[in-house]
Amino acid sequence: MTTSVVDVVETKGRRLMPRWRDYGRPRELVVRYLLLLLVLGLTVGPLLWQLLASLKGVSEDVFGTDATLLPHHPTLRAYRTVFDQVPVWSYIRNSLIVVALSVTSQLVFSTTAGYMLSKPAWKGRKAVWVVLVASMMFPFESIMVSLFISIRDLGLVDNLAGVWLPGFVGAINVLLMRGAFLAVPREIEDSAMLDGANEWQRFRYLYLPSAWGAIMVVVINTFISAWDDFLWPLIVLRSESNMTLTLGLSRLQSSSFGYDQRMVMAGSVISVVPVLVLFVITQRWFYKGVSSGAVKL
């Protein structure tokens, strides 16, 4: 009995291995990978270039015709200089305080508000939902002046609480949690009610575990937003002791530090590392939460 040519090769004790042509024609495959390489270069390329530039010695050019991509003699001198001349650990502490406050408030208010918006039993739910969606249309710059006046009247200028307060809850996070809670089957909640579970117990033991992926999305988005924020801390903060990491490291571009390009690149890498570490650790829940929370957004 003869066998026909198949598209997969079956080996004993192994999975079926697809051939290259199973993924498309060679021309389509080349175009697909070229596009992926282009996107990878646009996203990872600048960060990689900053990292390589920060490792260059004093005698190596960062810009210009004589500059090279790879450092000839890699050194951590720029990082040591940044930590010696700038209170980096104080900046990191201030940023962590703002991040902790932001993540806590976002989780508390976005989960509770999203839970209430997912319930059809109270009037005005659609009106609140429309207001939240409409608020996302206005850029931060359009309300920045009024926010600063409010923070000034509260006496929170040059205070970390003044950096945190305008972003204590975000409309996008509320809508994301609403979509995640809407995905919970109504029959499960009815069963919990028959078992005697009250409102808080259903929220704590039924809805929150079901929306774990969306919660991680809220945590990651809030962490990145609070950690990388530069404009609002620049407006609110005055003293160096209260500066956040991104604001403090921007001082490396001033003339008082000689505008060493390697130090500027090193400062940029230092500020990005915590975000990358967090994303690598939580990426599995992040992608799962994006897909689940967007079902009924």
For the chain, give the percent of residues with pLDDT over 90: 21
Average confidence score pLDDT of the chain: 82
Q: Which two tokens stand for residue 250?
A: 């921007």
How far is the CA of 224 from the CAs of 94, 99, 129, 143, 274, in angstroms? 15, 9, 25, 21, 9
pLDDT band of residue 78 (cuts 50, 70, 90) is confident
Question: In terms of pLDDT, which residue wins out, 165 or 10?
Answer: 165
Q: Which two tokens stand for residue 144?
A: 């920045």
Question: In terms of pLDDT, which residue wins out, 123 or 286?
Answer: 123
Q: Which two tokens stand for residue 99?
A: 């991040």
CATH of domain 80-293: 1.10.3720.10
- Rounded Cα–Cα distance for residues 167 and 225 (Å): 9
The domain ranges of the chain are 19-75, 80-293
Q: What is the pLDDT of residues 236-260, one digit of tens each?
A: 998 888 999 988 888 887 656 666 7
pLDDT band of residue 263 (cuts 50, 70, 90) is confident
17 conformational bin, left if phi > 0, alpha if psi -120 to 50, beta if neither: beta
Q: What is the pLDDT of residues 46-66, one digit of tens each?
A: 888 888 888 888 778 777 777
Is the separation of the CB atoms in 235 and 243 below 8 Å?
Answer: no
Q: What is the pLDDT of residues 144-164, one digit of tens each?
A: 999 999 999 999 999 999 999
Is the pLDDT at 268 greater than 90, yes or no?
A: no
Mean pLDDT of 185-199: 84
Is the separation of the CB atoms in 136 and 171 below 8 Å?
Answer: yes
Is the pLDDT at 297 greater than 50, yes or no?
A: no
Mean pLDDT of 34-54: 87
Q: How far from chain centre, in Å, is Cα 162?
A: 21
Give the pLDDT confidence score for residue 286 in this predicted structure. 65
Is the separation of the CB atoms in 266 and 82 below 8 Å?
Answer: yes
- Rounded Cα–Cα distance for residues 227 and 274 (Å): 9
Q: What is the pLDDT of residues 198-213, one digit of tens each?
A: 888 888 888 888 888 8
Is the separation of the CB atoms in 107 and 143 below 8 Å?
Answer: no
Give the pLDDT confidence score for residue 289 in this predicted structure. 58
Give the pLDDT confidence score for residue 139 in this predicted structure. 85
Is the separation of the CB atoms in 234 and 246 below 8 Å?
Answer: no
158 conformational bin, left if phi > 0, alpha if psi -120 to 50, beta if neither: left
Nearest CA to 202 out of 189, 211, 214 is that of 189
